[in-house]
Homo-oligomer: A and B are copies of this chain.
């Protein structure tokens, strides 16, 4: 008799105060732990009598199921990893916000990592995320980790690439029409009569940078403008890089009269360099940026820029991931979102029709 009781109690898990578990709820409500679990997850038959008793007990104890145990047993986690290359870039924070909005509603948590554009760091993060048993990962892929990504997919972790298209056929992806955006921006400058147009690019390897340069070149061709290689400067997508790149351009024997800058942070740097030399925008030099940012309308003159739907990139990526988690067999797809040229005054447009606040709450 005593023997038997002892054995039964073996699992009673007398715990320290504060932390409580399913056994305590079961005890308080006088049911088995199975029933408690069923009530908590709420999708199986439990009598209304027991349901209410369990719910009451759970409430008074402030019980909430341990997620590690749950994940372990279910072999799935309600966590999704996000690896961003630069969290200090407002473009990416908008993306994150988009991701968060969707995933939060779907009951997922976000495990966040900053790769700093470093493939090694990216790999470390990827393996941590795997150990963490995330359901999926949304990332801005750097190069060099293709085989590793592939092995992740094989081991059942779904990936979604954003911003860059790594040319992988084993994951979904969301990008924007970089080439078209750059084409429009450059054409805009050409149409305003600027002939000597320069560009500040990002790193040579990233697909976004390459595509934007392509659009730039095509626009020059389209408008019968000569392409001077000296007016193409490669940089690093960072503010300081943009600053130095613009200095280089301005130091040329024949500097450009208009410039397209391939991302937001470099645009800030470029503006700084221009202001330092007391050049008038757009009279002495016109400028068009890529990425429309909150500060674009606060600049004097306001900044003409190619707007990317950053928030939508995030929501789209999250949705792709959710759909794939629901149906892992469906074919991989690449969603390409549109860009929009926001014409303001830094490009020298006389008709500043489109001055609107970027961000209304």
- Which residues of A approach B to under 8 Å, CB–CB? 18-19, 62, 64-69, 71-72, 77, 79, 82, 87-88, 90, 93-94, 96-97, 100, 104, 109-114, 127-128, 130-133, 151, 154-156, 236, 238-241, 243, 265, 267-269, 271-272, 275, 281, 294-295, 297-300, 302, 357-361
Contacts and interface: CB of A to CB of B under 8 A. Distances in A.
A136 B343 CA distance: 47
Contact of A62 (B77, B132, B151, B294): B151
A268 to B, nearest CB: 4
Given A109-B128, A300-B275, A361 B241 contact: yes
Contacts of A294: 88, 239, 265, 268
A361 B240 contact: yes
Given A239-B294, A272-B297, A298-B272, A66 B97 contact: no
A132 B240 contact: no
B268 A154 contact: no
A77 B88 contact: no
Contacts of A114: 97, 100, 104
A27 to B, nearest CB: 18
Contacts of A297: 272, 275
